[in-house]
Amino acid sequence: MAEKFIIHPRGPLMGRVEISGAKNAVLPVLAGSLLTGQPCRITNVPNLSDVEFMAELVESLGGFTSWDKSSGVFNVDTSRLSKYDAAYELVGKMRASFLIIGPLLARLGRARVPLPGGCAIGTRPVDLHLKGLAALGAEIEHTHGYIEATAPKLVGAKIYLDFPSVGATENIMMAATHAEGQTIIENAAVEPEIVDLANFLNTAGAEVRGAGTDTIKINGVKEMKGTSHSVIPDRIEAGTFMVAAALTRGDVMLTNIMADHVKPVTAKLKEVNVQVTETEDGIHVKADGEPLIAADIKTLPYPGFPTDMQAQFMALMTQAKGTSVITETVFENRFMQVGELKRMGAVIKIESRSAIIEGVEKLTGAQVNATDLRAGAALVLAALTADDVTEVNGICHIDRGYYRLDDRLNQLGAWIERAKENA
Ligand code: UD1
């Protein structure tokens, strides 16, 4: 049954929190395990429902998975991969499942994967993925809502991405690992998750160079092997806890974090008067001093400010002194949290791709709805500072990408109950 959070007012968050492995790194790595055909051991795997979906998908194709959720060790063996077509019910649940098309094509010469539908944050096409696969020699057909790709042989090519799409870069990079000759991806995405995937593929025998720059070169190899890989920490989960600390004027130490990966968030937090210090242990966020001040933000591909942190930062700016303008340039419709924040007393106006936020003294408790993962997280953060009880419905979206956000915030001093939606 659907669940909700009941969030009670409490004071500043205090204490330590350990950041989980990155959702957006582990999903492509699991898709990449389809390429190896040998057992892989993935560690630091976050306990998330999206990882569950990906495991189901790998199993549905003939792979074997075993996951010890308490230790975060995930074993995957795709030696018996037998199917090239993915079920709509599984792919429809999660857009990242489209990442299996490149690996399936490379491994089996064929893939049939449902087109991911539109979702709450925009239409999210896959044209760049498909253009890349076609450039490697795949024949692409759209039939009855499915993409069918066939290529008895993939051949390396030079591919320029019109936009540095994260998913397209990953899909093409994976397909190219088994292509004949060299593939060059230009204007590639440079997100840390791309580097993590390349590291995984390389330890499994692939030859990927340049990941983390806008030009990635992949020399095709005939065979790959099993490997062990530890997933990078989740920079978005880290950013979310950093903003939670800032919003509640708290004092929180975050561990298992890559300071470099959260630099854009750190920079903005400092700009709005929050103290952020790198220590040997991790990152220390302290916001019990000066009042928060407004700042403008524009989301951009990495190393710009992440679109996945836009909603949480908007929650923060509702409590800042002054007016801030947040411009979303990565997705066309990613202000789903605005209506809900307004129900909590925020003053926000949308003008085209920008949201204009007037800081208010206090947010009030209300019943609100999490429409997607990051919008949901933003509502939880906003609720931490509201003067009254807030109910956040639709928290299945939040559970997709945050492991037990409620319990972990509670350990820092929040008061969040998880209850049945109609209870
Ligand atoms: C990934 C992340 C997501 C994050 C996003 C941007 C995963 C599992 N998800 O999503 O959390 O918000 O990066 O940092 O890693 N586009 C096209 N054609 C395509 C592909 C993308 O036009 O073929 C557009 C999209 O509609 C969007 C923009 O490019 O406007 C960015 O999308 P992309 O970088 O591909 O994001 P995802 O890989 O889907």
Residue-wise pLDDT for 55-79, tens only, equals 999 999 999 999 999 999 999 999 9
Task: State mean pLDDT over 338-350.
Answer: 97
- The answer to whether the CB of 86 falls within 8 A of the CB of 100 is yes
Residues with Cβ within 8 Å of 168's Cβ and at least 6 positions away in sequence, in order, are 126, 128, 129, 132, 161, 189
What number of H helices and E strands is found in the chain? 14, 23
Please name the residue whose Cα sits nearest to atom 7 of ligand 1.
24
Q: Is the pLDDT of residue 43 over 90?
A: yes
Task: State mean pLDDT over 80-90.
Answer: 90
Residue with tokens 């990565």: 330
Ligand 1 atom nearest the C-alpha of 130 is: 23
Distances (CA, A) of 114 to 66, 98, 117, 148, 198: 25, 8, 9, 9, 25
Please name the residue whose Cα sits nearest to atom 13 of ligand 1.
166
Task: State mean pLDDT over 390-406.
Answer: 95
Distance between CA atoms of residues 371 and 393, nearest Å: 9
Residue to probe by mutation, ligand 1, list 26, 165, 299, most atoms within 8 Å of CB? 165
Residue to probe by mutation, ligand 1, list 302, 330, 332, 335, most atoms within 8 Å of CB? 330
Ligand 1 atom nearest the C-alpha of 308 is: 12
CA of 166 to the centre of ligand 1 (A): 6
**pLDDT tens profile 248-277:** 999 999 999 999 999 999 999 999 999 999
DSSP one-letter string for 16-62: EEEPPBPHHHHHHHHHHHHHH-S-EEEES----HHHHHHHHHHHHTT
Mean residue pLDDT of the chain comes to 95
Task: State mean pLDDT over 16-41.
Answer: 97
pLDDT tier at 179 (50, 70, 90 boundaries)?
A: very high
Q: Is 399 left (phi over 0), alpha (psi -120 to 50) or beta?
A: alpha
- Active-site residue 40, yes or no? no
- The answer to whether the CB of 242 falls within 8 A of the CB of 20 is no
Please name the amino acid found at residue 300.
L
Please name the residue whose Cα sits nearest to atom 27 of ligand 1.
331
C-alpha closest to that of 172 among 131, 115, 203, 213: 131
CA of 283 to the centre of ligand 1 (A): 28
- The answer to whether the CB of 46 falls within 8 A of the CB of 26 is yes
Please name the residue whose Cα sits nearest to atom 5 of ligand 1.
166
**pLDDT tens profile 96-120:** 999 999 999 999 999 999 988 645 5
| Structure tokens, 47 | 């306990």
- Position 408 scores a pLDDT of 98
Residue with tokens 């990449």: 32
CA of 33 to the centre of ligand 1 (A): 21
Q: Is the pLDDT of residue 124 over 80?
A: no
- Position 423 scores a pLDDT of 58
- Position 119 scores a pLDDT of 52
Distance between CA atoms of residues 281 and 248, nearest Å: 22
Ligand 1 atom nearest the C-alpha of 302 is: 14
**pLDDT tens profile 191-210:** 999 999 999 999 999 999 99
- Position 189 scores a pLDDT of 98
Tell whether pTM > 0.85: yes
CA of 100 to the centre of ligand 1 (A): 15
Tally Cβ neighbours within 10 Å of residue 223: 11
- Position 289 scores a pLDDT of 83
CA of 228 to the centre of ligand 1 (A): 27
Residue to probe by mutation, ligand 1, list 142, 163, 331, most atoms within 8 Å of CB? 163
Name the residue with higher pLDDT: 289 or 211.
211
CA of 305 to the centre of ligand 1 (A): 14
Ligand 1 atom nearest the C-alpha of 331 is: 30
- The answer to whether the CB of 67 falls within 8 A of the CB of 47 is no
Residue to probe by mutation, ligand 1, list 166, 312, 334, 397, most atoms within 8 Å of CB? 166
pLDDT tier at 306 (50, 70, 90 boundaries)?
A: very high
Task: State mean pLDDT over 398-412.
Answer: 96
Task: State mean pLDDT over 277-292.
Answer: 94
pLDDT tier at 89 (50, 70, 90 boundaries)?
A: confident
- Position 123 scores a pLDDT of 57
Distance between CA atoms of residues 309 and 237, nearest Å: 9
Cβ-in-10-Å burial (0-12, 13-18, 19+) of 71 comes to: exposed
Ligand 1 atom nearest the C-alpha of 126 is: 23
Pocket of ligand 1 (CB under 6 A): 24, 27, 95-96, 122, 124-129, 163, 165-168, 193, 307-308, 330-331
C-alpha closest to that of 184 among 129, 126, 149, 135: 135
- Position 95 scores a pLDDT of 86
Please name the residue whose Cα sits nearest to atom 35 of ligand 1.
165
| Structure tokens, 271 | 């700009």
- Position 122 scores a pLDDT of 54
- Position 1 scores a pLDDT of 79
Ligand 1 atom nearest the C-alpha of 96 is: 8
| Active-site hit among 14, 119, 140, 221 | 119
Q: Is the pLDDT of residue 291 over 70?
A: yes
